[in-house]
Structure 1
Amino acid sequence: MINKVFRGDMVDCKKVKKIFRVTGIKGNGAFANFGIEVPNLAQQFLARLDEIDDHSATEIALFEPKKDDNHLDGHYYVGVIVKEIKKEVPVGMDYIETGLDYVTTRGKINDLNKLHNNLLKWANEQGYKRNLESYIVETYHPMENSEEEVEIYLPINN
């Protein structure tokens, strides 16, 4: 289900309903350090990718939302999208499933902060209210020339 689409600043924003099934590893730390910690944990996870069957090869991260300026530490998961519900996962990993309404956009990973800001601005202009109790989701998509795109999903309340 797709609703409103916005094309401005070379960014497409839209509302979607989506289910994510993820096998991954949990990390935690200061929000300020996520830019370093998340990719490091992702590399550790990718070294174990062959332990996971039935995965889509799409890398994913789920982030606890920062609720306010005093919320300094949070947790996150790095992993891969799996095709079916998992009853068993490798040691040290978790299975997470989330299905919600999201606002979403996609662009170059180098523009991550700009993409987040544009998506937040668009969501506010459309009257969507963020769901701060559910994970922010990012999926990662390799492109040509060693570039990578990121798709951001911010959970919203109905």
Structure 2
Amino acid sequence: MNAEKMKKTLRVIGIKGEGSFTDFSTEVPKLALQFLERLHEIEAKPGPEIALYEPKRDRDHLEGIYYVGIVVDEFPTEVPVGMEYIELDEEYVTAKGNVQQIGDLHNALLKWTDDQGYKRKPDSYIVETYHPLETGEEEVAIYLPILI
């Protein structure tokens, strides 16, 4: 895994979801499919698919919010009904890998973050962007916000 620290601005148009953290692995993809069915409503040129996740604070924090959507290049002139525009401007640690190994990638990035002495920013979204490959597989980039 190649990990790095970077400052990144992400502009997102997406749909908000919420529920139990234990259900995110099934509920997020369902909401993403609903979002993709409405992609034609967005005037901005669509970039990669993206998901934003509220971080789990502790074991008693059972429910959270998430967004699914796309990255856009600039502030949209119009946001479709039921969607939101979110702009994130954070310092992140990031790594890319095969979406099939997303859990292992998260764990490796968390370990790398700790090994480098970075502290996670507990009130900022965890970000994943999804990138189809020519092989038919999909790559995921994970961005964990850090304190500076």
TM-score by length of 1: 0.91
Per the alignment, residue 82 of structure 2 pairs with 92
Indicate which of 133, 136, 140 corresponds to 1:150: 140
State the Cα RMSD in Å. 0.9
Q: Which of 25, 43, 51 is the matching residue for 1:53? A: 43
Aligned to 1:17: 7
- Structure 1, gaps ≥5 residues long: 1-10
Q: Hey, what's the Cα distance between the residues in 2 that align with 1:132 and 1:64?
A: 9
Residue 20 of structure 2 is aligned to residue 30 of structure 1: yes
- For 1:63, the aligned partner's letter is Y
Partner of 2:114: 124
SS class of match (1:71): coil
CA distance in 2, matches of 1:147, 1:156: 29
Moved over 6 A (4+): none
Q: Distance in 2 between matches of 1:57 and 1:102?
A: 19
Residue 70 of structure 1 and its aligned partner are, at CA, apart by 0.9
Aligned to 1:74: 64
Match for residue 4 of structure 1? Answer: none
Question: By how many angstroms is 1:55 displaced?
Answer: 2.7
TM-superposed CA distance for 1:87, in Å, is 4.9
- Does the residue aligned with 2:60 lie in a helix, a strand or coil? coil
> Equivalent residue for 2:103?
113
Query: Residue deviations 1:65-119, cap 9 Å, x none?
Result: 0111111100000000111113530000000000000000000001000000000
Other-structure match for 1:44: 34
Alpha-carbon distance, 1:53 to partner: 1.4
Equivalent residues of 1:139, 1:151 under 8 A apart:
yes
Letter paired with 1:102: Y
Compute the TM-score of the two structures, normalised by the length of structure 2. 0.97
CA contact (8 A) 1:55 1:80 kept: no
Aligned residue-pair number: 148
Task: Tell me the CA shift for residue 143 of structure 1.
Answer: 1.1
**Could you tell me which amino acid in structure 1 is paired with residue 68 of structure 2?**
V
